[in-house]
Structure 1
Amino acid sequence: MPLPNNALVLVTDGRKLLLLRNHGDAAQIDLRVERHDERSDQKNGEMTTDAPGTNQQSGGYGRTAYEETDFHQLEEDRWAKQAAERVNARALRNDFDALAIIAPPRTLGELRKCLHKAAASKVVCEIDKEMTGRPIADIEALLVAHTARAELADV
């Protein structure tokens, strides 16, 4: 489906967030930045205080170590949830009629889980790709190519 005028485009990856608005129309996409956020990347020592725990085995000798928590992934999941909350608030205010989401596969999955039904019903395009570090022209080209493939698939 072509990206209509005034559609909102969410580009995120767990560290950066871009909210773009299509000021063009379905034939000519013209994205402009509405919001840009980026979180600072913390080191493991700043996030953890202990080594992973251990567990006494019921039979035999020794201890089994628990798997260490991936705090960076937890932060990225939390970031995706916050991005979804921003989109949800805008959807409930009827700030947009169509939504396109561009995010890596894991982040896209987290976004899907957290989107309100009002926002989820407005999704016209989902692309599982990392694009936060790319210029807006590349994002526009990706959306044009994706909508062209979708139109060919519908024929």
Structure 2
Amino acid sequence: MTKVPHDAVVFVGDGRKALFLRNEGDAQSLNLKAEAVFEHQSPATRMQGTDRPGRLSKGPHSGQRSAVESPNWHDIEEHRFTKQVAIAAEQLLRSGSAKMFVIVAPPRTLGELRMALHADVCRHVVAEIPKDLTKLPVWEIEKHLLEAPA
């Protein structure tokens, strides 16, 4: 069972949606209340990149050229969104609104968050759960947190 202390902020997110929930209950009976919701609307790929991919020459006289792979605009936007969420977590810590964090995110997002979070925030993370719970209602998130291994 994952311990979510009273007044801890539970971050539940992926690369497109993030919830900051505060535990107003205790570790045995969670009572999560939404504090902030971040949702990123990523436009269609055709709306994000308008230029054709570039081409590279193999050498000055070879006459061979190869195409450069197009960037994955959705991955780039998810990475930016993760950085924005990390900044929001730092602001919560600096303002004194949060003293402890529990992070619930898919493994890839969890890894990106670890790199994006400020060291001060990382010191206040009491648990990490590698799951995607962003599409679940709050009561189901509470249930998953109580069942998750510590």
Same fold (TM over 0.5): yes
In the alignment, structure 2 segments of 5+ residues that lack a partner are none
Which whole-Å CA distance do the structure 2 matches of 1:95 and 1:34 have between them?
10
Q: Give 1:134's aligned residue.
A: 136
Which has the higher mean CA deviation after the structures are superposed, 80-89 or 95-104?
95-104
Q: Indicate yes or no: 2:52 matched with 1:55.
A: no
Shift of 1:41: 2.6
Residue 128 (structure 1) shift: 1.5
Which 4+ runs in 1 deviate beyond 6 A?
none
Q: 1:52·1:68 contact (CA, 8 Å) conserved in 2?
A: yes
| Structure 2 residue 146 is matched with structure 1 residue 144 | yes
Separation of aligned partners in 2, 1:104 and 1:51: 32
For 1:3-82, list aligned pairs within 5 A.
3-58=4-59, 60-82=62-84
Does the Cα contact within 8 Å between 1:53 and 1:65 map onto a contact in 2?
A: yes
CA contact (8 A) 1:100 1:124 kept: yes
* SS at 2:89 equivalent: helix
User: How many residues are treated as equivalent by the alignment?
Assistant: 148
Q: Is the 8 A contact 2:105 2:132 kept in 1?
A: yes
CA contact (8 A) 1:12 1:103 kept: yes
Q: How far 1:62 sits from its partner (Å)?
A: 2.5
Uncovered stretches (5+) of structure 1, i.e. residues with no partner: 151-155
Task: Give the drift of 1:97.
Answer: 2.0
RMSD: 1.4
Shift of 1:109: 1.3
Percent identity (aligned): 38
DSSP-derived class of the 1:24 partner:
coil
1:61 to partner: Cα distance? 4.2
